[in-house]
Chains A and B, each alone.
Chain A
Amino acid sequence: MTTELFTGAEMVVKSLSALKVKYIFGYPGGSVLDIYDAIFQQDEIEHILVRHEQAATHMADGYARATGEVGVVLATSGPGATNCVTGIATAYMDSIPMVVLAGQVATSLIGNDAFQETDIVGCTRPIIKHSFSCRSLADIPDAISKAFYIASTGRPGPVVIELPKDILIPQNKGPFSIETDIKIRSYNPNVNGHPKQIKKAVQAIARAKKLVIYSGGGIVLSDASELLTKLVETLKAPITNTLMGLGGISGTHEQFIGMLGMHGSLEANKSMANADVILALGARFDDRVTNNVEKFCPNATIIHVDIDPTSISKTINAHIPVVGLVEVVMQQLLDELSDINFSPDEVALTLWWQQINLWRNVKSMSYDQAENEKIKPQRVVEALYKITQGDAYVCSDVGQHQMFAAQHYPFAKPRRWINSGGAGTMGFGLPAAMGVKLAFPDKHVICITGDGSIQMNIQELSTCSQYKLPVVIVTLNNRSLGMVRQWQDMVYGGRHSSSYMESLPDFVKVAEAYGHVGIKIDHLDELEEKLTQAFNIKDRLVFVDVMVDEKEHVYPMQIRTGAIDEMWLKKGVKA
């Protein structure tokens, strides 16, 4: 019997099939034409042709964030691959499982400055979890299989695979086999928290009078939201989420005190500052949370649960570190709490909640909307919440609109809030929303964006036409780069250096030019009606261009170099 032989390109596609990949997001070019030819000749995997490789990475990223699966990108060598760099960095910063297949010039040409040659493995080294340089046919299935395993386990992240042209071409064939039960001797992520640390953590929790639970993106990534809710309800303590952790617990849960950090709620930041024990779950004490680390929560014993040891005691020293998968560690905590017959100190809890409710009553997220004035951006987000009942997938770009969305759309479920938190990548929102819509065609998928961000990947409106992706784009149009402008107002004496947008296009016409529906909203009294109208159009993309008050700032806001709870509530008003 003769063994069937395959080309490298066929092996790429067969490997992806074996790993149950449904979509590849990419753009063809010289070095990967053989892979495109192999894709053409099968129907298990659908290729989505973007208009710019950066968008392919964000689409794969959005798809991964919404589904929990690995997002797959295919790009050609040189500029195709370098266009992926921003998307890879975005996925890296937010720990998103992604595999990027990058073409490369033939092995004999590597190092010769050949046409469309870039050392993409070198370019991406600081922003990947791992990378593979294939040099022979036999490397391909092994690299792809390992890449998926590495990308999706432990702390997830992007993996790059470099595929030189000469190992893909038809002249080169070999037998195919793929091992999907992967073991790597140098890679064994911790799963269980150390029992001693669990005991210590529970002892600290049991002694606490002012406990705060602070949870992050790790809860969302590991689908641990039910367990988190159970833990939170057992402890009866307040819970705050990071920007990445929103939806980890329902935004309307009575123990939820809002997002914390730079634009977090006063009650979240005050609770953290006054806590005696902080239970951090899958969060990393980012500088947008802590503010000045020297002044960070001086009286708190910090229990830090994270899958990644490097996150622990990197910025804030953890008194009780626990390395492990957050869902496993939370179950261990629940078991230990049950073993010691834990019941919360009701007297202390009552006092603690009384104090928190005083902070809550300040209503730090409030804003003033007069009926006959320009639309406040916050009002648009509230209207979106009302129409979609809190159950939409909300993909945002980066800037003021992102913060308004995070503050005013209480997410009922995890994986519904999709934004570039760590990297802060403008241009992320639209392609991410497209990836989500592909995965969940029957759900509301909104891209909340700004007039700056939308233009960073606006060419993808064309991809939306091609694949019929009826996302709802809502642009909070303030005719300026709002967050930059806000900082210039607050820190740079109101000098608006390059922060305003002259010659904005007519977005309605732009949408129409791509075959979509465009709706412009100018006045408050038409806001809800026209937004509802937009959501009633199910089969076409609707681009809603909302003219909002350009002078509105995002409040509350931490005061620079201050403690976590030192905040501006309004212009000139400190908490």
Chain B
Amino acid sequence: MRRILAILMENEPGSLSRIVGLFSQRAFNIESLTVAPTDDNSLSRMTIATIGDDKVLEQIVKQVNKLIDVIKIIDITDRQHIERELLLVKVTAMTDKSRNEVKRITDIFRGNIIDIGKQVYTVQLTGNAEKLNAFITALQHETEIIESARSGCVGMARGDKALRI
């Protein structure tokens, strides 16, 4: 089962490698991982999308929590939450037809064309993983994807709930 974990940790050198090392050492899966400092520069926030049954997930949460640098970890999947991922995709746009199609699909998905080359468009789209997958499939029907980059998901709980010190 896919789970999204939000982790608040000390923004120290080596903190990231401790988490990544833990996942490989204990054979836990990482589907995606994003990390950046928070508004409080002494803290980093990481979002990990992982796959595992309840027993594995319990171990992941406990093991991550055990790391000295980690302040808090929550599984946001069970509750109402917001999940977003950023996609940048560069596609071939050589003919009027393909340009129009890319523009149309991008509008439907509420993405933006943010750069153009002589024969390419670069499109930006945010959303959950499912939306991004659907967008890529739609593009593939109409044109050729030259490259794509995804950020991995970030997430937080809806409403008043917050992950903070």
Contact = CB atoms under 8 A, between A and B. Distances in A.
A186 B59 contact: no
A271 interface: no
A133 B68 contact: no
A314 interface: yes
Interface of A is mostly: mixed
A67 interface: no
Contacts of A370: none
B14 A121 contact: yes
Contact of A129 (B10, B17, B59, B68): B68
B68 A130 contact: yes
Contacts, number: 35
B95 interface: no
Contact of A314 (B10, B59, B70): B59
A326 interface: no
Interface in B1-35: 9-10, 13-14, 17-18, 21-22, 25
A309 B60 CA distance: 11
Interface residues of B, number: 21
B145 interface: no
Interface in B66-80: 66, 68-71
A187 B68 contact: yes
A150 B71 CA distance: 15
Contacts of A309: 62, 65-66
A347 interface: no
A309 B14 CA distance: 23
A379 B17 CA distance: 51
Contacts of A150: 68
Nearest to A132: B14
From A122, A125, A184, A310, residue with most partner B Cβ within 10 Å: A310
Interface string A98-125: 0000000000000000000000011001
Interface in A313-329: 313-314
B165 interface: yes
Given A125-B18, A186-B71, A310 B66 contact: yes
Given A313-B58, A314-B59, A186 B14 contact: no
B66 A131 contact: no
B164 interface: no
A126 interface: yes
B14 A131 contact: yes
A196 interface: no
Contacts of A308: 66
A186 B18 CA distance: 14
Interface string B41-73: 000000000000001001100110110111100
B42 to A, nearest CB: 9
A184 B68 contact: yes
A186 B21 contact: no
Interface string A363-405: 0000000000000000000000000000000000000000000
A90 B11 CA distance: 30
Contact of B21 (A126, A310, A313): A126
Contacts of B58: 313
A309 B70 CA distance: 15
Contact of A185 (B21, B22, B71): B71
Contacts of B17: 122, 125
Interface string A17-36: 00000000000000000000
A130 B68 CA distance: 7
Contacts of B68: 129-130, 150, 184, 186-187
A310 B63 contact: yes
A129 B66 CA distance: 9
A122 B71 CA distance: 22
Contacts of A187: 68
Contact of A186 (B10, B22, B25, B55): B10
A123 to B, nearest CB: 11
20 contacts: A122-B17, A125-B21, A126-B21, A126-B22, A126-B25, A130-B68, A131-B14, A133-B13, A133-B14, A150-B68, A185-B71, A185-B165, A186-B10, A186-B68, A186-B70, A310-B59, A310-B63, A310-B66, A313-B55, A314-B59
Interface of A: 121-122, 125-126, 129-131, 133, 150, 184-187, 308-310, 313-314
Given A131-B14, A309-B65, 20 more contacts: A125-B17, A125-B18, A125-B21, A126-B22, A129-B68, A130-B68, A184-B68, A186-B9, A186-B68, A186-B69, A186-B70, A187-B68, A309-B62, A309-B66, A310-B59, A310-B62, A310-B63, A310-B66, A313-B55, A313-B58
Pairs of residues from A and B, 8 with the lowest C-beta to C-beta distance, nearest first: A130-B68, A310-B62, A186-B71, A126-B25, A309-B62, A125-B21, A187-B68, A310-B63
